[in-house]
Structure formats: C-alpha cells, structure tokens
Chain A
Amino acid sequence: MIKASLRGLLQRKLRLALAVIAIVLSVGFLSGSIVLGDTLNARFAGLFSTINENVAVQVTAKDPDAAEPARLSQADLDRLSRVDGVAQASGDVSAEGVIPFRTDTGKAVTAQVGLAAGVDSRGDTLGLVELREGAWPARADEVVLSANTAKLAKAQRGTQLKVFVPQLGEARTYTVSGIAGFAGGRDSLAGETLVMFELKHAQELFYGTTGVYASASFGAASGVSQDELKKRIERELPSGFKAQTGKEATEEASNALGDSFGIFTIILSAFAGVAAFVGIFLIYNTFNIIVAQRSRELALLRAMGASWGQVIRAVLLEALVVGGFGATLGLGFGIAVGVGAEALLSNMLGVDLPSGGVVVSMWAVLWSYVVGLIVTMIAAFIPAVKASMVPPIAAMRETVRPDKSLLGLSITGGAFLVPGAGLVALALTGIGSATTLVLAGGVVLVFLGVALLSPLLAKPVVRLLGWLLGRGQAGKLGVRNALRNPRRTAVTAAALMIGVTLITTAATVAQSFKSSIEDIVGQNTGVDIMILGPNTGPPNGEIGFNPAALDEVKKLPGVTDTAAWHITIEAAIAGTPAFISAADVPTAKRMWQMQEVGGQLRTLGAQEMVVDDNMAEASRWKAGDQVTVGIGQTSKKYTIVGIYKRTPTLQGPILGLPAVDDFAGKLAYQGFVSLDDGADVAGTVAKVEDIMSDYPGVTVGDMSSFARQQSQAFDVLVNAITILLGVALLIALLGIINTLLLSIVERTRELGLVRAVGLSRGGVVRMVGVESVLISVFGCLLGVTLGVGLGAAFVKALIDLDFMSKFALPWANLAVYVGAALVFGVVAALWPARRAAKLNVLEAIAYE
C-alpha cells in the first residue's frame, strides 16, 4: 500500500510541483526571516565583542535609567584602577543624540545613531579607538571625529564644525582637532557617527559637573582572569554600581539588541504565516483534484481489499512526503533569502557590520519543518477523507459526479463567519493585551467562513462577470468551465482573496486617516504652522528642539501665538504605558479650541494634569482624582484638574510644564504657530525653518504640507504591506496556474473535442484565459469587499476612539486592485493556455 502510494506520487510529480513550490515559498519566507534575525543578531554580537575586546571588567550603575543615576567620581575611578590586576582603566563619559551638521549643506547628518564621548589626552586606553591624524581634544572647543563622521559631515582636521548637543538644547561650533578610527582599520562600528569632546567639557555637558563618569572599563594584567578581576573589583565597588566581566557585558548588550530584532522577525513571520495560510488553499486544491482524478484507481485499491484507513494513510503519506520535500527546499531557499536580505539591509542602512558566516539556528530548521508539514497535512486531510469514501464500485463504472448541494458547506461557512466577525468586533472594542491574538483569530475565522461561503457566491458573481468578459464562443466556454465546479473556482479564488483583503483593509484605514487629516486641515483650528520633531527615535525629551526657540518665532511678523509641546513615550499612567504630553494648557486651549468637559483647563502646576474625556470615562476618573504618573524612573501622584473633549488631533494626558524636569531631556518635540489672517504663511514657514535649522531632523510646514506628509507616510505603509504580502499573492497566482493545469489534464478529451469541431488554438487560449481571469477577478472582488468591510470595522473603532473622524474608500486603490486582478488572471493563464493549445487533437480525444 505504501509502495503503491509512493509510486503514485512519483507519477504525479508534475502535478504536485506547484504545491511543492507553494510550500517552498511560504517556508522560505519564514525561515528567511528567522535566518535574517539570527544573522543580524550574530553580527551585532560580534560587534559588541569587538567593542569589549580588551575589557575584562565593566562597572556600571545598577539603575542607569534612574532620574538621577549614580555616577562614579574621579576618586572612585582612581581607587578601582589601583586594584591589583588592573592593567588599564578607562572612565566612560558618553551620550547619544549628539549630531554634527554637514559643512557643505549645513544640514544635520543623518545617521542611525549619533554617539558622543569624552576623552583626555591619553585617548582610548583600551585600544578600541585609535587616533589617525591630529591630536586628541585639549580644549573645550575642540573635537575629534571618527573617520565615518568626518566623511558624512564633509569635515577634516581644522574644520569649524557645528554640533548639536541635546543637553544644551542647541548647536555649538567646534574645531576638529583630529580624526580617529577603530581597531582593525574600521571607520565606524556600525555606521554611527562619533564626536569626541575634551573630557572635562564632556562631563560638564552630559552630567553637569566635572570629575564624574557614568561607568568604567578595566583591562586585566596578564595572568588575571576576567572572573578573578571582577571579584577583586567587586570588593571596592561604590554603592549603586555593579561589576560585569567583559563577556557578560557583551552578552547583555547583544541580548538587548536581539529583542528589537525579535520584533522585526515576528512581523516578517506574521506575513510568512499569511503566505502559509494561502498555501493551504493551493495544496488543498491540488490534493482534491488529484484524488478526484484518481477515484477509479482508489476504488480499485478498495475493491482489492484496502481499508478506508489505508487509503487515508496513503494520501496523508503523500502529503507528508510532499511537505517534507517542500520544507527542505524551503529551508534552503530561506537561508539564501536571509543572506541576501541581510546584505541588502546592511547596505540600505549604511551599516558596516563586522562580517561573519550566516547563522541557521535550530529554530529556523524546526519551524521550517513544522510549518511545511503541518500546512500540507491540514490541507490534505479533507481530500484524504474524501478519497477514503470512494466506493469500490466506482472502479467498475464511469464516475458521475453530480452537483452536490452547497447547503452544508454554506452552513459551515456561516458557523465560521459569525463567531469570526464576533471576535473581530470584540477585539476592536478592546479587551486588553489579548487583542491582537483575538483579532488575528477572528480574521482567520472570517477568511475560512467566506472561503466556505464563496462557492455559493461563485455562481452568480462569475455568471455576471462572464457576461461582461466572456465574449465569443471561446469566452463562453471559459465561463462555463469556471462555473462547472464552483468549489474549485471558489477555493482558488479564496487564496487570492486573503492577500487582497489584507491590502484593502490597510488601504481603507489609510485612506480614512488621510481624509480625516484633510478634514482637520480644512477646519480652521487656529494652528497654521506645525513644527515636528525628528523621527530618528522615540520622543522622550532628548530629541526635538529647544522651546526657547519659539520665543524667536513669536517675534516674527504675523505670528500671534506659539505653543511648545513636550512629548515622552517613556511614561506610564496608573501603571499602563502611555504617551504623555506636557504643555501650557491655556495656550493650547486657545490654539486648538479645546473644549472643557469637566474641571478647569487652566495653567497646570507641578503634579497637576488634564485628561481627555474618553480616558476619564474608561478609567472612571473625574476632576480632583489623583493618578500615579510614571515618567522615566520617577513616579508621582498627579491631580486631575480638568477634562477636555478628545479630538483626533488632541488627546491623552497633558501635564504642566514643570513635569518636563522629569523627562529624559528638556527638548520640545512639537511646536504650533498661529498667524494673523492674511499673514504670509510660506514666508513665515521659511523663517521658522531658519530658526529651527540648528535642530537636527526638525521639520516645519504649514497644515497642508503636514497633511501631505502624513498622506505620504500612509502610502508608504500601505506599499510596504503590499510588498510584504507579495509572497502570499505569488502563491495565489501559483494556485490559479495549478488549478488551470490540473483542470486541463482533467478535460484533455474535451479540449480534443472542441478542437475537432473547429476551435482554433487561439480559441483554446482565450477559453483558458477567460476562466483564469474570472477566477482571479472573483477572488479580488471577494477580497476587496471583505477588506472594505474589515477596514470599515477598524475605522469605526478608531473613530469611536477619536483617532480619526471619517470613513473614506480608497477608490483609486480599489480600481488598481481589480485592474491588477485582470492582469493577474492573464498572467496565470499564459502557461496553462499554451499547454492546452499545444495538445495534439487526436491524442487528446483518445486520452483516457
């Protein structure tokens, strides 16, 4: 029995080829993203071990994120460096967000990370950074740049260089006294910029006082192990500090970074999951058709005494072999994809990572086989059961497959759809941390439900489409072929539906956002110009602009009002992570026309706040209540003094300006400017831009340019989603090709017949083409309909939460999708139609 089924497998290898390709693609996508994540992780781990190469022990604050983190004094450092076994000691003075400006264009240098450090005349005693030319900074107005920084800023020795220092809240000009590189001749560690200040100056800039260090690194004398030195240093540690060996520090740093790649891998894996889900439809169809075509052979086996269990096992064994084979190829493909993507990504980000081999972890291998096998087994299960139900008598007679009623199928579809829609609705009203899972589960159920219901829809919709598209006799025959097996047409179309639904949902939500923004811009809120902080990192007070710069803006002709908006996401309200603003409430009230719902919207003192009405309602807060607000590491009780009406532009907790002291930095992240009626908007924007030019990444625009910018951001997002769903769409395309090819094999004699009664080769091509286009357009219409529905549900939820104000359909996108489906159908038909047209008439008629 096993031998028979394996032999059968080999004979049908061509028919299974596309199923294998589908598995290869979805497994490849998944293993590719895992390999990419692992490889990047390993690259960065390599980077950290380079950084810590000569570090035997590192001493850092136990709680570096505290509002007032512990600092090492010069005396601490001196004492620790006298510990027996310490060969070198280096105190660390460093900061992020220090950004040089280009000397040619005057614009801020855009790098992933802008590092700064303090060095004395000895330079880096641990040998990571090496001076290449010039001298280490000896005065407060001198800096040394890493070679990469010098290249990006177009600076050289002696250049006057403007550098933005977040702690100062402004840019300062320094003289470049030298250029440095990294051990091994590297210009940067990973594409970052590095500006090195004179030590005392750096201490004053970053820590407000000289003679203190954030941490320290120690090199060991020969013969002293890292662990041994750590023990000795621990005895001398000041309170609030911990010691780690160089190895431990490297691990900790790369693990922290690994977590951020983890999210990246999860997002890619989610899209890989969609691809695998679509693959199930293709494989299901393949096995279903093969089982139908083999029903006589299966019946013969049954007549010879094979039990139904044996038949099921035989089909599932085939699936196992196909799945295992596909998973193996997919893993190989994924490794190649991972390597390629890593190279591409490093190139795109301009990150010059230490090279090393590709990392294929056990997880990549494991997941490849789990997904490859499970997907195939799930897909083959129903066809296997069907195969087992072929009665032995079917071997003796011509198999007649009457049209089965779609009632049972449709009821099952409803049984999936209704709870699925319920789960989506539940998720959208928000039920806490499980929301994403509930949503995903609901959407999957909705997909299955619609897929099961789609055979019912296939007849009327395809008939209507056929009436539009199926011109001529060849076209008519194509329409009939698409209609003859609604289940097959529907399952094939459903695979395409999934991708189209997700894209349409994204496009619908994006379009609604865009038109909500246009609405807001259209309404005259009183704000005419917006100043937006850089998108180089999460707002926390360390990036943005000095609010004092707004004083200059206010002096510009035509400017009536300005408001600085401080934002941090390193915050929590009553224990829940939150996005917190700090601003002058009366100004905001005036400019944004805030409506008072409860309490008072007045100038806030320390530990006073206002919240929006949605928040107040959800948490049952009223004016006068006290709420715990955490900012960074601080945690204080705030009194709610007022409640305002939430709008899409203005929402969330707003604290008074005194709260900014607890932010990581004192920079404002957004600024709003009101103008007189008739003021020169464009001219003022240019002047504000000029004032803001010292702040890296800060952009200025009027409301319409702001809207345009937001729209573009949404377009980019929708495009990114579409590209990531490309694999799922590709598998759906393969699915159509697959169904057409298998149908053509099944209808070989019919093809011979229509050729014998005079249909030309072109006619056969048209016939297959029309069937293909009908399947593709039907799938697209299902997807567009479902996607608009899901999108509307999302938008409604977002409107309820006041994140947007109106629902809008992305008509242009929808038209493009339907147009693309037409092309998709034609492309899918190319190969099958060629095969059908090339059939020898006589052989086709004689085909058994």
Chain B
Amino acid sequence: MSAAARAVDVWKVYGSGEAQVIALRGVNLEVERGKFTAIMGPSGSGKSTLMHCLAGLDSVTRGEVAVGDTRVTGLSDAGLTRLRREKVGFIFQQFNLLPTLTAEENITLPLAISGRKPDKAWYDTVIQTVGLGDRLGHRPSQLSGGQQQRVACARALVSRPEVIFADEPTGNLDSRSGADILGFLRRSVSEFGQTIVMVTHDANAASYADRVIFLADGRIVDEIENPTAEAVLDKIKSLDTLAVSEDRVEVAE
C-alpha cells in the first residue's frame, strides 16, 4: 500500500543572497495511510513549512511532494483546487470558520463547493462523534473556541479526504477542549481509518499520535513510534541540547 502523502528530498528556500533562509533541507517523509502522524520541533525548525508543502499550500524549491497518487509538485492552481476538494482536509490553529455560515453549513462547505452531496450515514456519524447535535444551527460567534474547532474537525472529516492536515489544532484552546479535539482526532484514525498529519509543539498532543517526527533546522532528526508524553518530552530535551543554527524561520505562527 502506497503512502498517503510523501515528500522526496524536499528543499524549501526563502529569499536569496544575504537574506536567504533555508527552511527545509532535503526532507524525506512517507506518511502512512490510516495513521496519525505528528510533526514536532522547536520554532523555526521547519515543521509548519513541511506541512504546508505536503498539503500543496506552499511550493517546494526542490524535490517532490505527492498526496496519494497525485503528484503535487508542479500542479496548476486549478489542479491544486481539485486536490483540495478531493484529497485534502485542513484544520487550522484559529479562525477556521466562515462567520456568515451556521455550524452545519460550515461543515458541509467543502462538499457544497465541489458540488457533492454529503453521505447521510457518514455525516451523522461525524456529527455524533464531534457531539455538536444541538449546536448545528448556531453561527461561529455563538460557539466557544472548543466548539468552533470541533466544527472545523467535522468539516475536515466529512469529505473523507486522503489526508487531513492539522496545524496546531489545540494551540488556541484550553487543555480540556484541547483534549476533546485530540481524542476526537485519535478516534477518527482508529475507528474510521482516517489519515492525519498534525503539527504541534505540545508533547501531550503529540502523545495521541501513532508516530512522532522530530524536525530541527530543516531536517528530520528523529522519530518515535507509539509515543507517550514522557517519551516525547525526553526526546525534546535531548534535542534541545543540539545546537540550533542561525537560519531559523517563522512561518504561519
């Protein structure tokens, strides 16, 4: 079985000359289908850049990216649009929803945009899993941060994408709401076989994943299978002792 997403010798360079910043230095990664993969690393390690490149939100300078059997590198805007409709789901750190739409309309937005009908049974399952039954008619401004993020998760799931990319999904939430979201993501991998790639800097969040990839200075430096929070924390501590190079980069924080 092929990987759900793949990066082959991916380089990402911003700017040129003196101002040149190298965000990714030859990253190779295979995201396993039906698994929950976490990407960790200190600020400027390139973790967000890697995710954006994998998702086709950002272009790579060298190397190749694919989602499923679709080669992302070199796709036109129309091709990228099709990719987002059919293969990819997103959950962002904050501001995930359209304020003009109700929770339900936000959830079905990707389907409506691509002109598809939601699969009734699957839709009900998703709604039930995220536990929003009585809030579906509400506008985002009437929902708490945790509820909003659950709507965002449901939206990502409902179109059953090849991969869901989650960028610090619990970054803006209190620990309880965060735990709810992480539990929900975990279940959608375990019970429904969804593939998820999550960027986080929180060791506890990473412990929900099947596999944790550690990035530093634009390179994959380590990984852990079936992590615990303690194991992740230990790993981070050992990485902290490594020198962090000067060319750090801030992306999408």
A interacts with B: yes
Given contacts A756-B84, A756-B90, A845-B57, 15 further A-B contacts (CB under 8 A): A473-B112, A476-B112, A480-B98, A483-B100, A750-B98, A750-B99, A753-B96, A753-B97, A758-B84, A758-B85, A758-B114, A760-B78, A760-B81, A761-B78, A842-B252
A763 to B109, CA, bound (A): 13
Is the CB–CB distance between A759 and B92 below 8 Å? Answer: no
Is the CB–CB distance between B95 and A757 below 8 Å? Answer: no
**Residues of chain A at the chain B interface (Cβ within 8 Å):** 400, 402, 472-474, 476-477, 480-481, 483-484, 749-750, 753-761, 763, 841-842, 845-846
Nearest A residue to B57, CB-CB:
A842
> Is B47 interfacial (CB 8 A cutoff)?
no
> Is B229 interfacial (CB 8 A cutoff)?
no
Is the CB–CB distance between A845 and B109 below 8 Å? Answer: no
A481 partner residues in chain B, CB cutoff 8 A: 100
Is the CB–CB distance between B98 and A477 below 8 Å? Answer: yes
Query: How many A-B residue pairs lie within 8 Å, measured between CB atoms?
Result: 67
Instruction: With both chains docked as a complex, state the minimum distance between the C-beta of A501 and any C-beta of chain B, in angstroms.
Output: 30
A845 partner residues in chain B, CB cutoff 8 A: 57, 92, 252
Query: Contact size class for B?
Result: 20 to 34
Instruction: With both chains docked as a complex, state the minimum distance between the C-beta of B158 and any C-beta of chain A, in angstroms.
Output: 11
- The contact of A759 among B52, B81, B141, by CB within 8 Å, is B81
B178 partner residues in chain A, CB cutoff 8 A: none
Main secondary structure of the interface of A (DSSP, over half): helix
Is the CB–CB distance between B95 and A753 below 8 Å? Answer: yes
9 A-B pairs with the lowest CB-CB distances in the bound complex, closest first? A758-B85, A480-B100, A473-B112, A757-B110, A760-B81, A758-B84, A842-B57, A846-B252, A758-B113
Instruction: With both chains docked as a complex, state the minimum distance between the C-beta of A463 and any C-beta of chain B, in angstroms.
Output: 13
A477 to B108, CA, bound (A): 13
Instruction: Return 19 A-B CB contacts under 8 Å, by A number.
Output: A402-B141, A472-B115, A473-B112, A477-B100, A477-B101, A480-B98, A484-B99, A750-B99, A753-B92, A755-B81, A757-B90, A758-B84, A759-B113, A760-B78, A761-B81, A763-B113, A842-B57, A842-B58, A846-B252
Instruction: With both chains docked as a complex, state the minimum distance between the C-beta of B177 and any C-beta of chain A, in angstroms.
Output: 16
Instruction: With both chains docked as a complex, state the minimum distance between the C-beta of B249 and any C-beta of chain A, in angstroms.
Output: 13
> Is B155 interfacial (CB 8 A cutoff)?
yes
Given contacts A477-B98, A754-B109, A758-B113, whether A400 and B141 have CB atoms under 8 Å apart is: yes
Contact mask for chain B residues 69-101; partner A; CB cutoff 8 A; 1 contact, 0 none:
000000001100100110001101001111111
B113 partner residues in chain A, CB cutoff 8 A: 473-474, 754, 757-759, 763
A756 to B166, CA, bound (A): 12
B58 partner residues in chain A, CB cutoff 8 A: 842
A481 to B98, CA, bound (A): 10
Instruction: With both chains docked as a complex, state the minimum distance between the C-beta of B128 and any C-beta of chain A, in angstroms.
Output: 22
- List B residues 92-140 near A (Cβ within 8 Å): 92, 95-101, 109-110, 112-115
A474 to B114, CA, bound (A): 10
Nearest B residue to A472, CB-CB:
B115
A763 to B84, CA, bound (A): 14
B85 partner residues in chain A, CB cutoff 8 A: 758
Is the CB–CB distance between A842 and B52 below 8 Å? Answer: yes
Nearest A residue to B114, CB-CB:
A758
Is the CB–CB distance between A756 and B100 below 8 Å? Answer: no
A480 to B96, CA, bound (A): 17
B78 partner residues in chain A, CB cutoff 8 A: 760-761
Is the CB–CB distance between B114 and A761 below 8 Å? Answer: no
Instruction: With both chains docked as a complex, state the minimum distance between the C-beta of A189 and any C-beta of chain B, in angstroms.
Output: 67
Contact mask for chain B residues 137-154; partner A; CB cutoff 8 A; 1 contact, 0 none:
000010000000000000
- The contact of B98 among A474, A753, A841, by CB within 8 Å, is A753
Most B CB contacts (10 A, CB to CB) among A476, A481, A756 go to: A756
A402 to B84, CA, bound (A): 32
A750 to B92, CA, bound (A): 12
Is the CB–CB distance between A754 and B141 below 8 Å? Answer: no
